[in-house]
Amino acid sequence: MTVRQWSRFSALRAPVQRALHGPHVLAFIPALALAAFWIGGEALLVAAALGAPLLYMIAGGAPPPAQGSMAAGPGDIVNTITATNLAQAAVESARDATLTTACLLVEVDGLTEIGQRAGENAADAFRDLTLSRLRNALRRDDTAVRMGDARYLVLLAPSLRLDLEALLHLSTRIQNALEEPAPIDNAMRYLAASIGFCGSARLKEAATGKQMLEAAQIALTEAIANGPSAIRSWSENMRSAHKQQKSLQSEIQRALSNGQIQPWYQPQICTSTGRISGVEALARWIHPERGIVPPAQFLRVLAESGKMQQLSEVILQHALTALRSWDQAGLDVPRVSVNFADAELRDPKLVQRIQWELDRFGLTAQRLGIEVLETVIAASPEGIVARNIVELGKIGCQIDLDDFGTGHASITSLRRFTVHRLKIDRSFVTRVDRDEDQQRMLAAVLGMADRLGLETLAEGVESVGEHALLAQLGCDHVQGFGIARPMRADQMVDWAQEHAARIAGAQKLGRSTG
């Protein structure tokens, strides 16, 4: 096929694909045969006449032209079918010439942030720039196309020596080219690139393009998990690790659906009254064999399988159910707080859903706290995440800034997001009663919060000494193992009653000795 024929072919592909969807396909065959004649002359007409299966293949994604750079224009994104066809064609042409090929997948990290900070046009400009940089780093006959918002596919033209060393060398060259900073929208922007690859020589003799593409995908997943800027080559071991990861993913997803994942609750105490000011809901996996599994062991897998929204729904349901049951048991628990990660805050229906749940449980929004990491607020000055936080504050939920001191939220953002309370990270709290530097740092944070009219809560309070010093420095609330470890909702009833009795006892003692 000549270049001109290829571009005519590309122009026709979209309408052909649409037309070929569904049983009415037969009615289109004469028209498609005519079109084939127009594009490719007699030879393609004969090919078209061979029947619908071939036309179907054309519609799904044509085999690649010899020149990779023609496979897609800067804005084109190939789908998985087309990518598989391109990989198959690469494998076949290498095999025909008794040579080797390789598939590389590149994922660039940082485009979402550029989109959020400088707008989608700036992000698109960087996407196009990345594709042209990628093509410049390759040979003329290699193929490079975009596969998604931040993903690129490279297929190498048949070659004699595509061993591990050569492919690592090439990947590093690509990475260096892509990670060059570029001035977009009047500012220097930086991206990180992760690369996973698989050379056809590492696969079995009769391996298909689909298998090579899947192997590169597994390698890329591994690279991203070790990123930013990691490069991984596919290996047989990786496949078994990937299988294990997949089975862990489905086990965790099942646990989420069948109620094995649920929150435990850790009390928060007011330093001036000693009373419970709230509880934090912390996810736990109640595993039938492994016992209580902490979130560090399943949150990442849930995030990778796109299940964070479902997690937030499960935790919210449980948390509101628990709050209502404590109300009914006569406990004084003013509020339950839930943790929302970036992925959960991206749900456009989040505020509506929460309001609906609160109404269903007959609870006011003031009874619900939303803990948002400082890093999330710092990275989301605008967009859906920012809108959701602001709206949640407007309906009356308390916004807590979690792990305060570990991110870079600006004072303006604290105001804009109507942050109510700073949750001072445990790293500032540990040994505060014994370390003067720690005391100075904490005093500065508390002073700033006071001037900004924000409440404060110290996390990870483990000792009586830390608790006492925090109260002395004027920290409003405390939470940590020194007060109570996270516990089940029913255990909270006993703990809260005992705690109330302890306070009453202490007050009595205070009055009689005072």
CA distance 10 to 363: 57
Q: Which of residues 349-388 bind ligand C2E (CB under 6 A)?
A: 371
Q: How many CB atoms lie within 10 A of CB 513?
A: 6
CA distance 144 to 132: 9
Specify the stretch interacting with ligand C2E by CB under 6 A; choose among 24-32, 188-196, 457-465, 504-512: 457-465
Closest to 400 measured CA to CA, from 378, 425, 419, 375: 419
424 binds ligand C2E (CB under 6 A): no
Specify the stretch interacting with Ca ion by CB under 5 A; choose among 43-51, 181-189, 229-237, 337-345: 337-345
Specify the stretch interacting with ligand C2E by CB under 6 A; choose among 104-112, 252-260, 338-346, 444-452: 338-346
Query: Which residue has its beta carbon closest to ligand C2E?
Result: 480
Site string for Ca ion, 352-381 (x = CB under 5 A): -------------------x----------
Nearer to ligand C2E, 234 or 285 (CB): 285
Which of Ca ion, ligand C2E, none interacts with 347 (beta carbon under 5 to 8 A by kind)? none
Nearer to Ca ion, 48 or 458 (CB): 458
CB of 451 to Ca ion, least distance (A): 23
Task: Mention every residue, 6+ apart, whose C-beta is less than 8 A from residue 357.
Answer: 316, 317, 320
Q: Binder to ligand C2E among 51, 74, 294, 348 (CB under 6 A)?
A: 294
Nearer to Ca ion, 142 or 459 (CB): 459
295 binds ligand C2E (CB under 6 A): yes
Pairing of strands 368-373, 182-184: unpaired
CA distance 363 to 368: 9
Burial class (CB in 10 A: 0-12, 13-18, 19+), 478: buried
222 binds Ca ion (CB under 5 A): no
486 binds ligand C2E (CB under 6 A): yes
Q: Binder to ligand C2E among 107, 403, 455, 476 (CB under 6 A)?
A: 403
CA distance 216 to 15: 31
403 binds Ca ion (CB under 5 A): yes
Helix (H) or strand (E) holding 373: strand 368-373
Nearer to ligand C2E, 197 or 265 (CB): 265
Nearer to ligand C2E, 168 or 293 (CB): 293
261: left (phi over 0), alpha (psi -120 to 50) or beta: beta
Specify the stretch interacting with ligand C2E by CB under 6 A; choose among 9-17, 91-99, 176-184, 334-342: 334-342
CA distance 407 to 428: 13
Q: What is the DSSP string of 252-283?
A: HHHHHHTT-EEEEEEEEEETTT-SEEEEEEEE
Q: Which of residues 458-477 bind Ca ion (CB under 5 A)?
A: 459
Angstrom CA distances, 308 to 125, 151, 256, 352, stand at 30, 22, 10, 17
CA distance 80 to 213: 10
Residues touching ligand C2E: how many (CB under 6 A)? 21
CB of 420 to ligand C2E, least distance (A): 16
Given the rule CB under 5 A, which residues bind Ca ion?
A: 339, 371, 402-403, 459
